[in-house]
Amino acid sequence: MRRYNGCSQILVTGGAGFLGSHLCERLLQEGHQVLCVDNFFTGTRRNIEHLLDHPRFELMRHDVTVPLIVEVDEIYNLACPASPVHYQHNPVQTIKTSVHGAINMLGLAKRVGARIFQASTSEVYGDPDVHPQPETYWGRVNPVGVRSCYDEGKRCAETLFLDYHRQYGVDVRVARIFNTYGPRMHPNDGRVVSNFIVQALRGEPITLYGEGLQTRSFCFVDDLVEGFVRFMRHDGPLPGPINLGNPREFTIVQLAEQVINITNSKSPIVHRPLPSDDPRQRRPDIGLAQETLGWEPQVQLHEGLVRTIAYFDELLRAGH
């Protein structure tokens, strides 16, 4: 396997998605050859259109639930719808993407000797009774709820990654991603940041579920991608899953107020019933990432929101 001081052949599944497109961009900037694989269920060509003519970028339409035979040095497995609106649309396909996709990508990594990264999620902690959540916490997840296709699919994928490492020696990295936002989020993904921004820019009522006192921690996409790359470059003892997210915590009401202020929106705030299994609080303990990778987020929420709002404003003006 070619190591990291030169050009590597890197496969990014879900590469036309929100996170994947930013990762592809970063890897190209570092001089690598990038194979972007996506079935365009939630990813869009718009996200990677500016990369299509790049001499080291290749796009392949493919579903990871089907085996893929390519020659690569590294694999970033990001394929899976990540918002409740999208992953609940076809829950069986969602869990197939997490489980069959993991098996197929791990099989590929095993065959070619590639290091492989799994985009896991803070949803493995469910509605936590430990706060903030360290990697040692096993979680509190409903295995049969409407969110289970995603939560349990990702938990099973983590099991597969660690078992492929223990049984076959596959070189794995598992990152548990907390709420992330930034340009190229899908405008209709139902996530709180994109929801609030689109509603504010359109002058529509801003929808809060429950009292809006549930908390989240919001990480800007550039910080997250930096964490991805540092984790993949880490050659020390396998640290197990690592939390990647911003440990600063905000209530949903505070987020709504920031969005309204930045957009100068006149949108009123309206309340709706809390969705089933919606976590009350979510905040990462990133001590392991700080110690192991020297990583912590740099972009403050206000700065990140300004950049994200500018993207959505342009998108909506263009009629998307």
Residue range of the domain that includes 165: 9-181+220-245+284-297
Measured distance CA(11)–CA(33) in Å, rounded: 9
Is the residue at 121 inside a domain?
yes
Is the residue at 101 inside a domain?
yes
**Residue (of 11, 48, 28, 157) closest to 94 by Cα position:** 157
**Residue (of 217, 219, 85) closest to 149 by Cα position:** 85
Is the residue at 269 inside a domain?
no
Question: 87, 150, 164, 181: which is the annotated catalytic residue?
Answer: 150
Is the residue at 274 inside a domain?
no
H helical segments located in 55-145: 84-87, 91-112
Non-local CB neighbours of 268 within 8 Å, separated by 6+ positions: 205, 206
Is the residue at 134 inside a domain?
yes
Active-site residue flag, 87: no
Is the residue at 102 inside a domain?
yes
Region of 14 (left: φ > 0; alpha: ψ -120 to 50; beta: rest) is left
Is the residue at 168 inside a domain?
yes
| pTM for this entry | 0.93
CATH number for position 51: 3.40.50.720
Successive 10-residue mean pLDDT values, the chain, 320 residues: 68 97 98 97 94 98 96 97 73 92 98 98 91 92 88 95 97 97 90 94 93 91 98 86 96 95 95 75 92 97 98 90
Per 3-state DSSP, what percentage of the chain is helix, strand, and coil (rounded to 5)?
A: 40, 20, 40
- CB contact at 8 A, 234 and 174: no
- pLDDT for 1: 42
- CB contact at 8 A, 287 and 228: no
**Residue (of 188, 189, 181, 185) closest to 216 by Cα position:** 181
- pLDDT for 5: 53
Q: Per the structure, how many domains does the chain have?
A: 1
Count of residues making up the chain: 320
Is the residue at 320 inside a domain?
no
